[in-house]
Structure 1
Amino acid sequence: MSKQQMIPFQTTLFVKDTCLCLHAQRAARALARLFDEALKPHGLTNGQFSLMMSLNRPVPAGMADVAHLLAMDRTTLTAALKPLERRGLVIVAADEKDKRRKVLRLTPAGEVLLAAALPAWRETHATLDQRLPDIERLRADLRALS
C-alpha cells in the first residue's frame, strides 16, 4: 500500500490567493451581510428585496422567468416566496391564460414596503460605489460571469 502524497501548504496558499470561486463566495457573503443590515429595519433580507424587486414589473412574472433572473431553481424560488406570501407581500396565482403556469406579483403592501426599502438599498450602493475604485468594471465583469 503506497502512502498518499500530501498537498504542499504552498499549494493551499496559492489556491487561497487565486481561487475566483472562493473570492466570489467571500465577497457575496460580505455583500449579503451589508445589505441584510441595511434592509433589516424594513424587515427584509437582501434576497427578499431582490426577489420583490424582480416582481416589480407591469405584467405579472412567470415562475420560470423569475427563477432564471435570480439564478435559482424553481424549488428554491418557491421556498423563498412562502414567507413573503405569508406576510401578504406577494401573490402566487395560476395564470389566467394557462392554469398550469404560475405567475407572481407584488401586492399593494409589497409595493409599499419595496418603495420604503429602496432608499436603504440606494444608500448602501452609493457607499460601495465610493469605496470601490472601478465599480462599473466590476459590475460588467460580474454580469459576464453570470
Structure 2
Amino acid sequence: MNAVASKADECNNLALRKASRYLGATYDKALAPLGLRATQFSILQQLSVREEMTISGLADVIAMDRTTMASNLKPLAREGLVTIETAAADRRARNVMITPEGLARMKAALPHWEGVQAEFEGKFGAEPAAQMRTLLENVLGTGFDPWAE
C-alpha cells in the first residue's frame, strides 16, 4: 500500500461523511412520506423544545453555519411549519418559531424517526450507538471551529 492510500484509510472526514450520508439517507427515506428531510426534522425538533430562537442560535445548536441554516429554513417557512420574524431586541437578528402546523408535522414524523433509531440500534447495538453519539458530541467541544474568522 502506498503512502497516499494509507492516509485515505485514516481520513476522519471521509469516514464521518460516509457514515453521515448512509445514516442521513436512511432517515430521509423514513421521513419522506411526511414531506420532511432529516435536517428539517432536526430543526423542527430543536424548535419544539424552545419557544423561539435566533437563526444564529439555532445554527449553533445544530452546528451549522448561519447561511446554510437560513437556506434550510426557507422551505419550512414556505410550508408554514416555521415563522421567521425580526427580533424586537435586535433589529438585525431574526427569530424562528415553530408553528402549530410545524409541531404537528414533527409529532407525526416522530414514530418514523423512532423506527429508524430502533432499527439502527438493533443492528449496531444500543451501547455502541450511545458511545458514538457521545464521541461525536465530544468533537464539537474540541475547540476546532470551522467557522472561526
CA deviation vs aligned residue, 1:49-68 (integer Å, no higher than 9, x gap):
11111211242111121010
**Distance between the aligned counterparts of 1:139 and 1:78, measured in 2?**
26
Q: TM-score, normalised by structure 1?
A: 0.88
Q: CA deviation at 1:44?
A: 0.4
Question: Is residue 2:118 matched to residue 1:126?
Answer: yes
1:13-92 to 2 correspondences below 5 Å: 13-92=5-84
Structure 1: give runs of 5+ residues left out of the alignment.
Answer: 1-8
Counterpart in the other structure of 2:134: 140
Q: CA deviation at 1:136?
A: 1.4
Task: Give 4+ residue runs of structure 1 displaced > 4 Å after superposition.
Answer: none
Q: Secondary structure at the match of 1:59?
A: coil
Report percent identity of matched pairs: 32
**Distance between the aligned counterparts of 2:26 and 2:68, measured in 1?**
22
Q: 2:94 aligns with which of 102, 123, 140?
A: 102
Counterpart in the other structure of 1:5: none
Q: Secondary structure at the match of 1:55?
A: helix
Q: CA deviation at 1:17?
A: 2.2
CA root-mean-square deviation: 1.4
Q: TM-score, normalised by structure 2?
A: 0.86
Structure 2: give runs of 5+ residues left out of the alignment.
Answer: 141-149
**Distance between the aligned counterparts of 1:114 and 1:23, measured in 2?**
30
The worse-fitting range, judged by mean Cα deviation, of 111-120 and 95-104 is 95-104
Counterpart in the other structure of 1:3: none
Larger Rg: 1
CA deviation vs aligned residue, 1:74-123 (integer Å, no higher than 9, x gap):
11111111111111110001223433321101111111100000111111
Amino acid at match of 2:48: N
Shift in CA distance, 14/104, structure 1 to aligned 2, threshold 3 Å: same
Count matched residues.
Answer: 138
